[in-house]
Amino acid sequence: MGVSSRRKAEELIIEGRVTVNGSIASIGMKADASKDHIKLDGKLIKKAEPHIYLMFNKPRGVLTSMSDPEGRPTISDYLKGVRFRVFPIGRLDYDSEGLLLLTNDGDLSHAVLHPSRKIPKTYVVKVKNVLMDEKLALLRDGIRLEDGITAPAGVKRIKNTENNSWIEMTIYEGRKRQIRRMLEKLGHPVMRLRRIAVNGLKLMGLEPGQLRTLTAEELETLKREVLS
């Protein structure tokens, strides 16, 4: 039931810390987890929840949190039909949108977020004014921010309009508001920011506010580099 190893469980039983339906358990006793009340140190043991993995298309104007004292919309407003408690893997700013992964698998979440993994995250970004090629090169080389120089980013131009540029950026760090700060440093405030991929897993088939379970293939894509 996810409490301990088999050998450790035997030790807990020998120490008299396990009860079944109020009686102290013994080695060799049989119990049915779906029917019997099994307790460790007086606390009822519940069957471990299955791991679930969700893709969510976070809309703009929604907090990546489960509650907000100011009453603003949060991602929990979109999880009413989810049976198990999940949490987001990383964050997206209130004004940002796009791919957000949700799970109850703490090990996978930790692996994705750990800086040593350098997990690629790709965004489509609209900025104020037209970005010249030399500034795109600066983004690729790294921008000096107050918390140090950013790692080289993957950057390509999507299109220019008369007053704006659309670019695609791939970063490998998880600094707070990193893309916004990088572009503000270059004098091009972000007007729209949308995450479209994480570690090769692409945002597909979801309207803003919709979520779905990852397919087996998508989960394998996500885990391939993260847990190797």
206 and 111 belong to one structural domain: yes
Q: Are residues 89 and 149 in the same domain?
A: no
Q: Which residues pair with 97 in a beta bridge?
A: 194
Question: 141 and 32 in one domain?
Answer: no
Residues of the chain with pLDDT > 70: what percent?
99
- Domain range holding 82? 53-115+201-226
- Considering the domain architecture, whether residues 190 and 83 belong to the same structural domain is answered as no
pLDDT confidence band for 4 (50 / 70 / 90): confident
Same domain assignment for residues 107 and 205? yes
Q: How confident is the model at residue 46, as a pLDDT? A: 79
Q: Are strands 144-145 and 148-149 parallel, antiparallel or unpaired?
A: antiparallel
Say yes or no: 106 and 146 in one domain. Answer: no
Q: What is the pLDDT of residue 33?
A: 78
Q: What is the pLDDT of residues 191-222, one digit of tens each?
A: 999 999 999 899 988 999 999 999 999 999 88
137 and 108 within one domain: no
Predicted local distance difference test score (pLDDT) of residue 72: 95
Please report which confidence band the pLDDT of residue 1 belongs to, taking 50, 70 and 90 as the band edges. Answer: low
- Are 132 and 175 part of one and the same domain? yes
Here the CATH number for the domain that contains residue 64 is 3.30.70.580
| Domain shared by 107 and 176, yes or no | no
The reported pLDDT for the residue numbered 228 is 66
- Same structural domain for residues 126 and 188? yes
Domain shared by 105 and 212, yes or no: yes
Please indicate, yes or no, if residue 129 is contained in any of the structural domains. yes
* pLDDT at residue number 62: 97
pLDDT value of residue 49: 77
Mean pLDDT taken over the chain: 92
Quick check: is 153 in a domain? yes
pLDDT > 90: what percent of the chain?
74
Domain count, the chain: 3
Q: Please give the structure tokens belonging to residue 184.
A: 């503000």
Quick check: is 93 catalytic? yes
85-135 per-position pLDDT tens digit: 899 999 999 999 999 999 999 889 988 888 888 899 999 999 999 999 999
Residue 202, CA distances (Å) to 88, 123, 196, 208, 221 in order: 16, 11, 6, 14, 10
Which one from 68, 77, 93, 95 is the annotated catalytic residue? 93
Q: Which pTM does this prediction carry?
A: 0.79
SS3 category, 59: coil
Query: Would you state the pLDDT for residue 18?
Result: 96
